[in-house]
Structure 1
Amino acid sequence: MTNRQLNREELLATLDWYAAAGVDIAVGETPVDRFAQSAVVPVTNPARRAVPAALQAQTPAAPPVLQANGPADADPGEARTLAASAPTLDALRAMLEDFDGCGLKLRATNLVFADGNPDAKVMLVGEAPGRDEDLEGRPFVGRSGQLLDRMLAAIGLDRGSVYIANTVPWRPPGNRTPSPSEVAVCLPFLYRQIELVAPKVLVALGGASASTLFETDTGITRLRGQWRDLTIGSHTMRAIATLHPAYLLRQPAAKRLAWQDLLSIRAALDS
């Protein structure tokens, strides 16, 4: 293979690939003299050999530590107070558009607030937006979303008869799992969203959503299919967890389990 200079289109495509993988920092802002650093003798005990004063003067200050998740996330208590003040879903969405307390927002293309009918009896909650969702600003629009649409159609539902959201409304870089601090600061907004929609049935899609909503460490394969009463704010509803469509794409044999859950959801709506 011969080395050649990349053209503009190839460079932009490479940058897009890095951004999708979660790389957003190329170098630090402060130059670092690695030769000077290698000459410094590490000191872990004051009684050991000290670095000469002349060498200390030549050694540059340590570069700033770059946090993997960007700026620190806001205090969840502040998010709870803010979310509780939203009188409507439109007001809640506007709050999130202006909210800068979650580092995920800095790298996301769009806020992925919700999709579907806010008056629906069924609300589905996934984990986090992916690349397609981030670009469109709507949850579940990629391959897993297409499968979800088919799953809903199998029990007589569609996006006009359900309401869909995620535990976090911004895409994590590289589709990584949201950190506990990111989930904690976004959770009050999700809780208020659920309270305002007030569904009859809440469906947690996947293990991450189920563990967050049900506050449990039980795995999704043991948790799925089990009904419970869940109270969020002033609203109490029936809740169930099922397998995430993305998991079903990887494990088609598990679709029979998801089908059992779908039939149970249909029965609960008809009762």
Structure 2
Amino acid sequence: MKETLLLEIIQEKVKTCEKCDLCITRKNAVPGKGNQNADIVFIGEAPGKNEDLHGEPFIGTAGKKLDDALENVGLTRNSVYITNIVKCRPPKNRIPNDVEKIMCSNYLEGELAIINPKIICLLGSTSYYSILGGKEISKNHGKFVSKDNRMYFVTFHPAAAIYNQKLGKVFKNDIRKLMKELQKLKTKSAD
């Protein structure tokens, strides 16, 4: 399929990217991964240690939290697409800076244009701020936002649930809300 080829081209470009200084400290660039026909794209902040080692998004502890939340609503990794704002791990897991985000923005935009999901789920403050300019995720999680003919859903990063057990329940509830909205959208488009 044309979409598969286009995503593979982006993934190869990510793997060899040298647009910013993150290429110096990374072990592996981490392109997005998942279903090119996904109804939902999840966008996190940046790869962590495990992701950097293996070149795959959300495979560490935060990834396990995401997998649990997906499983809880009947989704699998293979049914969604998972990516990040930046594709290389910032040193010491710091928040990506504006230059790094800008350098990766074409990759992310390319992924979204090819997949054209029904909903884009922003995981955490960095993706919320980077894409929608949002500030306080604690006041805005669980909300849907339309911008540029796309529907976004805001929730906490699954890593937040590692450090705050209460957020684990909130995160799972947010993912349930996301799934209910997706089902409504699918029903509308089927009519």
Q: Report how many residues are paired.
A: 180
Q: Greater share of helix residues, 1 or 2?
A: 2
Candidates 135, 142, 155, aligned match of 2:60: 142
Match of 2:79 in 1: 161
1:252 equivalenced with 2:170 (yes/no): no
Letter in 2 for 1:256: K
- Give the drift of 1:215: 2.0
CA deviation map 1:98-127 (0-9, x unaligned)? 332111011111110012211111100000
Match of 2:145 in 1: 228
Distance 2:147 2:120 in 1: 9
Letter in 2 for 1:241: V
CA deviation map 1:248-270 (0-9, x unaligned)? 11011122322331121111111
CA deviation map 1:158-208 (0-9, x unaligned)? 101110000000011111111111112111221121111111110000111
Match of 1:126 in 2: 44
Letter in 2 for 1:224: H
Q: TM-score, normalised by structure 1?
A: 0.64
Query: Would you say the 8 A contact 2:137–2:154 is kept in 1?
Result: yes
Letter in 1 for 2:139: R
Distance 1:98 1:243 in 2: 30
Larger radius of gyration: 1
Letter in 2 for 1:107: T
Distance 1:180 1:263 in 2: 32
Distance 1:204 1:114 in 2: 14
Match of 1:219 in 2: 136
Query: Would you say the 8 A contact 2:16–2:29 is kept in 1?
Result: no
Match of 2:93 in 1: 175
Distance 2:58 2:16 in 1: 23
Match of 1:210 in 2: 128
Query: Would you say the 8 A contact 2:28–2:55 is kept in 1?
Result: yes
Letter in 2 for 1:177: I
Q: Report matched runs for 1:54-65 at 5 Å.
A: none
1:189 equivalenced with 2:107 (yes/no): yes
Query: Would you say the 8 A contact 2:14–2:30 is kept in 1?
Result: no
Going from structure 1 to structure 2, the CA distance change for 1:105 and 1:264 (only over 3 Å counts) comes to: same
- Give the drift of 1:96: 2.4
RMSD: 1.4
Unaligned runs of 5+ in 1: 1-86
Q: TM-score, normalised by structure 2?
A: 0.89
Distance 1:150 1:256 in 2: 11
